[in-house]
Amino acid sequence: MQKEQVLQNFGLTKAEVQLYLTLLSIGEGTAAELAKKTNTNRTFTYDRLKKLLGTGLVSYTVKDNKKYFKPAEPSQLLAILKEKEEQIKDVLPELEKLKAPRMEGPNVNIFSSKKGVRTALNLILKDRKQVYIYGSIERFRKSMESFYTIWNTQRAKEKIQVKVLSNEEIQMELAETDILPEEERSSITTFTFGDKVIIVLWGDIPVAILIENEEIAKDNIAFFNAIWEREIKIYSGVHGIVKAFYELISTPSSAHWGIGYSWALAQVYGKQMSYDWHQVRLKNGIVSCLLSYDDARSQEYFRARMKRWRDFIIRFLDKDICGPACITLSDHMIATFIYTEKKLKVIVSKNKETISAYKRYFETLWEKAER
């Protein structure tokens, strides 16, 4: 964040910030000299100096019957901030007594503008409860700019855990994430924590709706968990394909099986991902047995990789028998990769009966396949 913006957030106007920075650069000066350097009239400059004198950021000395204004050391900003904090602490008990009795039913407040959204989201840092986030993280990051980084860093520092449901690729510390289908893309983000729900509508002027109600918060978390724990999920795009591949080998499994692999699918996720994936697979001690299309490109591609990677066994079957999509599974999940259409999709299921049925189907095809 720019120093000018930080100082304005401290409570100074743009003109006062310019005046203080000018004084820092020249050491001291009269009102007339400062007016000239800041390209403002003397009366306006003198009024601004009076305000800065009141904050303690400027002092003056008299030489030859003239006032020479001098800037306070930048470190004085922290002292002023500490003094304000202590003053607020002194009156907090009185302010708490003035609060009206809590009304029954949901308490709803609306915060408009980025400053309002900051005020609402800072409640998460104050409450320090686990947060359930549903919707767009990217809109949060783009709209709130540096505040997103500051908020996220402070959240991690306070050890506040988050669970995120979004259709975006997300990198957040202390966060568990799961992907929503592309069809559920939204420009709204919902934060649920403790007995509070914050719904943020991202736009040119973002709006945050704060709902304080234990029952509503519990219902929201129950809805979130129902989606989080669903047996069947749909991932989209290359990111969805990569996520599903890693989920297949993320926990111990007696093996990893697949039907309908091909050179064409390998082009979607790329060589580097394939290399990294095999490293994880071998680290977790998982054997991979795959049935590939028997076209020339697929045979050349997979035979080379069988030589390179340990516990990686490929057999080949006619494309019509393998089917139009890649179906791959482990002990805990099954994923169907639809990569031949315009929109890449992965259907992930954790249904035990489905997994068991496809294991038997794989064994039948495995016996028929070319070694």
- Averaged pLDDT, 117-145: 94
pLDDT tens sequence across 213-234: 999 999 999 999 998 888 888 8
Which tokens belong to 114? 């980025």
Quote the mean pLDDT of the chain. 88
- Has residue 294 got a pLDDT over 70? yes
Considering the entire predicted model, what is its pTM? 0.57
> What would the mean pLDDT of 200-217 be, rounded to a whole number?
93
pLDDT of the residue at 81? 67
Using CA atoms, how far apart are residues 149 and 145, in angstroms rounded to an integer?
Answer: 7
Nearest to 273 by CA among 234, 314, 313, 245: 245
Query: Can you tell me the distance from the alpha carbon of 205 to that of 109, in angstroms, rounded to the nearest whole number?
Result: 16
| DSSP symbol at 315 | E
Tokens of 333: 């999940």
Alpha helices in the chain (DSSP H): 3-9, 14-26, 31-37, 42-55, 76-98, 113-127, 138-144, 146-157, 214-228, 237-249, 263-283, 296-308, 319-322, 352-368
pLDDT computed for residue 102 by the predictor: 60
pLDDT tens for 348-357 read: 999 999 999 9
Instruction: Show the tokens assigned to 109.
Output: 């407040």
How many Å apart are CA 111 and CA 103, to the nearest integer? 20
With 70 as the cut, is the pLDDT of residue 141 above it?
yes
The SS3 of residue 202 is coil
pLDDT in tens, 3-61: 777 776 677 788 888 888 888 888 888 888 888 888 888 888 888 888 888 878 788 88
Q: What percent of the chain has pLDDT over 70?
A: 96
Instruction: Give the end-to-end CA distance of the chain in Å, rounded to a whole number.
Output: 61
